Structure 1
Amino acid sequence: KSAMKLLKNTLISCVYRAPGSCIGTFNEKIIELVDHINYKTLFLCGDFNINLEHEAGQITKDFADPLYSVGLFPLINKPTRITSRTAIQFN
């Protein structure tokens, strides 16, 4: 799911990927979004439920590379909720 708001050549998009949902489909939608950016400023916010600490993993690479290619970099790249079973990062 996503919500978008346009403010004078600025796009603010909030994106959520539910845990366990198809990462491939999510990545396709993110690529569609960044491929059609015609705005001076973009804020891509949300909870992606993708562990960016596993930099070598293909899932992380498929998610991050299209963002990096248009100059988008995560501000949070470490888990923000750690339990005995999981480490979750909120983006």
Structure 2
Amino acid sequence: MSLDERLVAFLEELDWEENCELKADTSLIKSGLLDSLNLFKLAAWIQEEISSQIDLTEFNLVEEWDTITDILKFIEKHQFACQPLKERGL
């Protein structure tokens, strides 16, 4: 299963207040779809995906996690940053 498929599957398992179709550009935070508990669950899921702790105070959650596309970019950026230098070709 690809990263985007895993993310969508994870998001679909969360308790949503309203029934909505998740698309790559669906606003999750600004729209209020993702409440604080589900945001915490998402943070834990992302930490597991990148195998590293995330300091949620070091970035703007609304800007970097508002859509599925934003979350995927965040994960890809942090997965690369967490790789040993040898694996990154450095």
TM-score over 0.5 for the pair:
no
Structure with the larger RCO, 1 or 2 (CA within 8 Å, 6+ apart):
2
TM-score (norm: length of structure 2): 0.29
TM-score (norm: length of structure 1): 0.28
